[in-house]
Amino acid sequence: MAIKEHKQHVHAANCIVITVSDTRTEDTDKSGKRITSLLTENGHYVKNKRIVPDEMQAIRQALTDACKEKDVDAVILNGGTGIAKRDVTIEAVSGLLEKEIPGFGEIFRLLSFQEDIGSAAILSRAIAGIFYNTIIFSVPGSSGAVTLAMNRLILPELSHILHELRKDLTSK
């Protein structure tokens, strides 16, 4: 099947946005607002948006709660992906994933290198995968990183990923 045929399955996704930060508030969460805006502009729905602290257990609990909500297709986390001691989002998320989509992080770093930040892209940590039959994306919290990930990777593939994830459920 051609790529074009794969992508013909358009599905509006029900999403939850989680910002990981010790300092951001609802008013100062530019990246969370950017994700929400891009999702809704592209025909998807944001069921919930929240901010959690840079703490392993808080991140895991927020992600688990989000994935257990009824009719949630995707969770997009932003922030807490750096290499500082408090940045534990990638570790929190990766420890829960049932299946990882390694190409997401690989391509995100390549795009960051090419378009944005040059060799500092080696510090960009991003991950995607499946947890509770829900697609999870975790990206850095800068507005530039969020815009890049959403426009170049997440939005173009979200419906296709959901189709692939759901086809096993509908064929049984």
The answer as to whether 19 is a domain residue is no
The answer as to whether 132 is a domain residue is yes
The answer as to whether 95 is a domain residue is yes
Q: What CATH number does the domain containing 149 carry?
A: 3.40.980.10
| Res 32: pLDDT | 98
The answer as to whether 17 is a domain residue is no
The answer as to whether 14 is a domain residue is no
For the chain, the domain total comes to: 1
The answer as to whether 161 is a domain residue is yes
| 161 in Cβ contact with 134 (< 8 Å) | no
Q: Domain containing 156: what range?
A: 26-70+87-99+122-167
Closest by CA to 89, choosing from 137, 49, 23, is 137
The answer as to whether 163 is a domain residue is yes
Q: What is the full per-residue pLDDT of the chain (172 aa) written as tens digits?
A: 455 555 566 689 999 999 999 999 999 999 999 999 999 999 999 999 999 999 999 999 999 999 999 999 999 999 999 999 999 999 999 999 999 999 999 999 999 999 868 999 999 999 999 999 999 999 999 999 999 999 999 999 999 999 999 886 655 4
The answer as to whether 135 is a domain residue is yes
